[in-house]
């Protein structure tokens, strides 16, 4: 049987660990027939080692989404490897330590600015860097953590994710005429490198132990990866500006 991404060429950012959503997105995408190229920062060699665990080889390109030179050269490097793109996965987020862990009221603007640039504005930067490769349209998919709520310990990453969600909607509006969809997956908490950088993360994750209608496994990123792959496919041809929850139902639970 053919896969739902047969013939698709997909760029995936943020593969840092085998436990990451980005890694499982790349894995499922390959299993579903896609050609995949990866970007990495700040340690491309680490991503190259992790990439060896994918079903098929995948080229790794160094990309700092805050570096305009890196963004300007991206399309040429990807074109040399794949020719064009049908999908882009934004799995990038960062906040300095003083922007997390209960320090919300004392975080300086410089740290907030960094969180916003890397975690939200970068979606626009990545989309525009890849747009020349998507002349036939395609799908951009990012990852959020439900920004409707103020989560314990999450602090300025919450507003950064809210900015990411708004950015996705505006990209959906402005790229729609070019046939490019932009959607987000809102995943539950996972034991990724990003999660481990949040002080007190285990307390946040405990919410899922008591409120999830479906059992949630913090050690299993594949459901979120499958959600990303579904949005990359042609099975959502008229869906854009949407946030799909892969969180075992916590988002719709009351008290």
In sequence order, what E strands does the chain have? Answer: 9-12, 35-40, 59-62, 87-90, 138-144, 180-187, 243-246
Active site residue 53: no
Pick the catalytic residue: 27, 124, 131, 161? 161
CA distance 59 to 11: 10
Active site residue 27: no
- The angle at the Cα of 96, spanning 47 to 200, to the nearest 5 degrees, equals 90
Pick the catalytic residue: 8, 27, 131, 154? 154
CA distance 240 to 236: 8
Exposure letters 85-109 (e unless 16+ CB within 10 A, then b): bbbbbbbbbbbbeebbbebbeebee
Q: Which residues are catalytic?
A: 154, 161
């Amino acid at each position: 049987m053919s896969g739902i991404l047969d013939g698709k060429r997909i760029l995936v950012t943020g593969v840092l660990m085998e436990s990451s959503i980005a890694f499982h997105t790349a894995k499922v995408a390959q299993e579903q027939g896609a050609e995949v190229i990866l970007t990495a920062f700040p340690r491309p060699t680490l991503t190259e080692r992790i990439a060896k665990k994918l079903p098929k080889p995948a080229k790794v390109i160094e990309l700092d989404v805050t570096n305009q030179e890196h963004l300007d050269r991206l399309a040429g490097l990807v074109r040399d490897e794949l020719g064009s793109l049908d999908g882009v996965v934004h799995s990038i987020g960062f906040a300095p330590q003083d922007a997390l862990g209960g320090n919300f009221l004392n975080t300086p603007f410089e740290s907030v600015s960094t969180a916003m640039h890397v975690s939200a504005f970068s979606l626009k930067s990545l989309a525009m860097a890849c747009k020349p490769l998507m002349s036939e349209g395609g799908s951009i998919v990012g990852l959020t953590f439900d920004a409707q709520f103020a989560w314990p310990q999450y602090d300025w990453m919450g507003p950064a994710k809210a900015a990411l969600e708004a950015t996705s909607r505006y990209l959906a509006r402005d790229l729609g005429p070019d046939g490019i969809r932009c959607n987000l997956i809102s995943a539950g908490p996972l034991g990724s490198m990003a999660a481990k950088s949040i002080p007190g993360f285990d307390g946040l994750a405990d919410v899922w132990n008591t409120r999830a209608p479906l059992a949630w496994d913090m050690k299993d990123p594949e459901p979120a990866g499958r959600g990303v792959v579904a949005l990359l496919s042609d099975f959502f041809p008229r869906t854009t500006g949407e946030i799909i929850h892969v969180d075992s139902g916590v988002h719709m639970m009351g008290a």
